[in-house]
Amino acid sequence: MIKSSTIVSYAIGAFLFIFLFGTVFCSGSGGLGRNDILVWHSYGPDEAKFFESIVDEWNARTEENRVGAGFRVHVAQIPWMGQESKYRTSLIAGSPPDIGRVDTPFIPELSYNGVLEDIKPIMDAESKALSAEVRLDYVPAAMESNVIKDKSGVEHVYGFPDQTNGACLFFNKDLFRQAGLDPEKPPKTWEEFLEYAKKLTNKERDVFGFGMDNSLWWTFPFFNTYGAKFLSDDGTKCLLNSPEAQAALQFKVDLFQKHKVEGGAWASGGQNTETGFMNGRYAMILMGPWNVSRFRSAKINFGVALVPAGPKGTSTNVGGTNMVIFKKPGRTPEQLKACYAFLRYLTSPDVQARFGTKLEQIPVNLKAYDRIKLDDPEKDKILKTFMEQMKTAQPRPKVLKYSQLETIINPEMESAIVGPEKGGKTVEQALKNAMERIDNEALK
């Protein structure tokens, strides 16, 4: 749940933002009519082409639809970088799109400012009509990123996921063979992972079992698999002082400090995970699906496996984007239902199966999973691994400024990796400092 107050600097910006909402919805959207639905998207070239083909399909068949008849969808592409500022400006100017594609961490801010349509009533009505829970169609963590509780604890749903991703374990098959390990049997637990990393580490050849990123986003797989809870249920307290969080970070720290199987990818001036994996310095890394094509083009003989399981099993963080419906004055229930119906079509099993097959990306609809089979067996295996991993993924903490969490905790985690003997901190000290700052700066 998002608290009703923010830090002073954000409060000032939020006050001005809300103050201007008296005139936010006064103008139209570029001269489009009341039966036109404007969608802003920020897809890359291949994704945009696919999306626009789906829009054409929708427009061609609206007369056949029980909901959506007479409505047409129009699209406009906006840059990925700086999109949040563009959305804020459009809201202040009174010309937001009907539907917008936004990064998942932006949802709490938009919901806090009351500019999104709560689609839960429509979703609940559809679930009742189908005798099936609509939310269960989707990758759980991706869908959950759209669910926000107000200060009374009441749930609201502000969109649908349109694209999702997370981390898996990438491993170099050639280095596995050289170390006497079976490349078809990657480690399944963190204990096995450590055993593998020790065998893979060869200081004489400048090869390390693991290369790790230090940021919070890349540390969530450790926290999640150890069962560490980041925030309290009401969203008012950070819980990073728990034994589970300390154990998770301690394991990560020990990979570098104690076991010396991590090659310093996290350090300033160190060789980053991507480069180190490509040149054979790091035998294993955590990485997302966006680098699969790059690694294949580099002729790396690699495999992809689930994140090693901790005490609470395998899990990953989750990234991606959501499609939300912005509030507009005078919008009729039919118009809102048309927007909702288009998003349900975009995220339907049929469309998502084609999305996954054509673009080799993770579908957001679980019912599409069994419909995807790529022509290339290795590509198919990798995509299926990511799809399986997403079933146990967990959403990021829902706070007004997610980037603030990264800013606070990343230096503390680096201090823990350095360790007190070299001027750093213990894991307990680092997490305690991070927790106190998050409580005072990000959750107030």
Bridge partner list, 163: 321
**Can you give the pTM of this predicted structure?**
0.89
pLDDT single digits (tens) 256-283: 999 999 999 999 999 999 999 999 999 9
- Asked whether residue 121 carries a pLDDT value surpassing 50, the answer given is yes
Span 45-51, mean pLDDT? Answer: 96
Span 186-210, mean pLDDT? Answer: 97
- Asked whether residue 63 carries a pLDDT value surpassing 90, the answer given is no
Measured CA to CA in angstroms, residue 94 lies from 42, 76, 338 at distances of 20, 17, 21
pLDDT single digits (tens) 294-340: 999 999 999 999 999 999 999 999 999 999 999 998 899 999 999 99
What are the boundaries of each domain within the chain?
8-165+319-390, 168-317+401-442
Q: What is the pLDDT of residue 6?
A: 39
Looking at the structure, give the CATH architecture of the domain made up of residues 8-165+319-390.
3-Layer(aba) Sandwich (3.40)
Cα of first residue to Cα of last residue in the chain, in angstroms, is 12
Identify the CA nearest to 151 among candidates 230, 238, 239, 236: 236
Q: What is the pLDDT of residue 398?
A: 92
Q: What is the pLDDT of residue 151?
A: 84
d(CA 40, CA 402): 23
Average pLDDT, the chain: 91
Greater confidence (241 vs 110) lies with: 110
State the CATH class of domain 168-317+401-442.
alpha beta
Tell me, what DSSP letter sits at residue 319?
E
The model's confidence at residue 11, banded by pLDDT at 50, 70 and 90, is: very low
pLDDT single digits (tens) 223-264: 999 999 999 988 899 999 899 999 999 999 999 999 999 999
Within this chain, domains 8-165+319-390 and 168-317+401-442 share the same CATH topology? yes
Phi then psi for 257, rounded to 5 degrees?
Answer: -75, -55
Decide: 260 and 201 in contact? Cβ < 8 Å.
yes
Percentage of the chain with pLDDT > 90? 86
DSSP 229-253: --B-TTS-SB-TTSHHHHHHHHHHH
